[in-house]
Structure 1
Amino acid sequence: MVRTGIRLSAVAVLAGVGVLALAGPAAAHVEVEADKDTAGATDVTLSFSGEAESTSAGIKSERVVLPDGIAPADVTLVKAPSGWKFDTTADGFTVSGKALKTGADAEWQVRIAKLPDGETRLSFKTLETYGDGEVSRWIEVQREGADEPDNPAPLVTLKPGPEPSPTTVAPTSVAPSSPAATSAVPTVSASAAVVAEPAADDTGGKAVWIWVIGGAVLLAAGGAFFALTRRNRPDPTS
């Protein structure tokens, strides 16, 4: 009975060791933390940590896919392992260089110009490559309220930011006229506003001058006739 108990204990210990050995690689993650925890924050530093899981090679690169709302051009390197360089890609960035010592974690920091507004969960899918070519894919998005997936993508949880101010539209200075008001007011053109006055009728004045001139002519003719007849009449004293 004693030997049986010893054998069962040994089996249990070995089984436990085996479970831990299997769980070891799965426990390795790439994690990320932000120094500002509000959506829409600016000049945010993200600190990444890639846990080494290989026993035969060191990490040589970390490729990060950015979430929607963050452009690669808005990311700059703050810190990386000695000798590593920073490169932007079409959908994110990469930090890479000489493979680290086997078992050494990869740590790097980048600065984000602005976090997306209205987003409280940002996943940074990461591909971790080792010196022997092995790739660990930490790309499964962690859903809120769900169990953690086997290969979770690094996640930043944020608090909601302030609501954006509503855009106000300045009222127009002149309100449009209603159809009824427009039809009630006649339209007067500039040419119609100037009305020529009729010319004064001077017919009566012309008639008066005709009579005056005619009378003067008759008087002059009568005087001349009288003088002529008087001259031709014989002088009674002669």
Structure 2
Amino acid sequence: MNVSRIAVAGGLALSSVALLSGPAFAHVSVQPQGEAAKGGYATVNVKVPNERDNASTVKVEVNFPADHPLASVMPQPVPGWKAVVTKSALAKPLELHGKKITQAVTKVTWTSDGAKIGAGQFQQFPLSLGQLPEDTDQLVLKAVQTYDNNEVVRWIEEPKEGAAEPQNPAPVLKLSAATGDHHGGGAAADDKADDKAGHDDKAAHAEAADSTDTPARVLGVVGILVGVAGVAFGVLAGRRRSA
């Protein structure tokens, strides 16, 4: 009897732990594909898990901070989902590649176009972002998740350093140190590749020239030796006749 009670109590305790810990790992998040450097460009995935057993996610909305506007936000097509990009006028225009940008993306909304995120599933929504700000270490992208039973979950609580994670934390994109070329090192890598290709071409031409000159040099030396031998033979033959 006591063993049964202990087993039941243990099961209830484990269930409680699972229920309490589950939501902490099942919130909407944003994860970079590679590096998201200040002043550069990045591709990120907005990861949306489904937290409900009796409903499916049919709409996802991600909002971008107004204090650190992004001139370019491009969603990658996701089968079964329709993406809409919303822009707003900027109070202070941005400078991007020598051009003035007067609008910035404030929101991207994905709506079900036949697909749903069911129970026990998640979906990733890729975004291309740029140019990332240089005066902050992170971007807080507040999200809103809508289920097909009309339930709406707002992931808008900004996590605070040193504090416990809020119940509905907003996705946070951490930014790494600037690379200096504002392209995540891509331009520098291309330059190095071009330089290497140039050196390789020069080396190849030099090697080809060497390979062409070598037989000519050998033939020249052989010709000289043959000529010297001929002269010597002629001298010796003359002496024999004289004798």
Give the TM-score taking structure 1 as reference length. Answer: 0.60
Unmatched tracts of structure 2, length 5 or more: 89-105, 182-243
**8 A contact 1:59–1:106 mirrored in 2:** no
Counterparts of 1:53-92 in structure 2 under 5 Å?
A: 53-67=51-65, 68-71=67-70, 74-88=72-86, 90=88, 91-92=106-107
**8 A contact 1:121–1:156 mirrored in 2:** yes
Is 2:133 the partner of 1:134? no
Measure the CA separation in 2 of the matches of 1:120 and 1:92.
21
**8 A contact 1:70–1:114 mirrored in 2:** no
Count residues with an aligned counterpart: 160
Give the secondary structure class of the aligned counterpart of 1:20. Answer: helix
Instruction: Report the aligned-residue RMSD.
Output: 2.4
Counterparts of 1:21-170 in structure 2 under 5 Å?
A: 21-34=19-32, 35-42=34-41, 44-67=42-65, 68-71=67-70, 74-88=72-86, 90=88, 91-98=106-113, 100-103=116-119, 104-161=121-178
Higher relative contact order (CA 8 A, sep 6+): 2
Measure the CA separation in 1 of the matches of 2:116 and 2:36.
31
Q: What amino acid maps onto 1:93 in structure 2? A: V
Unmatched tracts of structure 1, length 5 or more: 165-238
Give the secondary structure class of the aligned counterpart of 1:79. Answer: coil
- Give the superposition deviation at 1:89: 5.3
Give the secondary structure class of the aligned counterpart of 1:84. Answer: strand
Measure the CA separation in 2 of the matches of 1:57 and 1:156.
28
Larger Rg: 1
Measure the CA separation in 1 of the matches of 2:128 and 2:136.
18
Measure the CA separation in 2 of the matches of 1:143 and 1:117.
21
- Give the superposition deviation at 1:101: 4.6
Greater strand proportion? 2
Give the secondary structure class of the aligned counterpart of 1:133. Answer: coil
Counterparts of 1:175-214 in structure 2 under 5 Å?
A: none
- Give the superposition deviation at 1:81: 4.1
Give the secondary structure class of the aligned counterpart of 2:9. Answer: helix
Give the TM-score taking structure 2 as reference length. Answer: 0.59
- Give the superposition deviation at 1:133: 0.8
Measure the CA separation in 1 of the matches of 2:19 and 2:139.
31
Misfit runs of 4+, over 4 Å: none
| Change beyond 3 A, Cα 1:89–1:116 | same
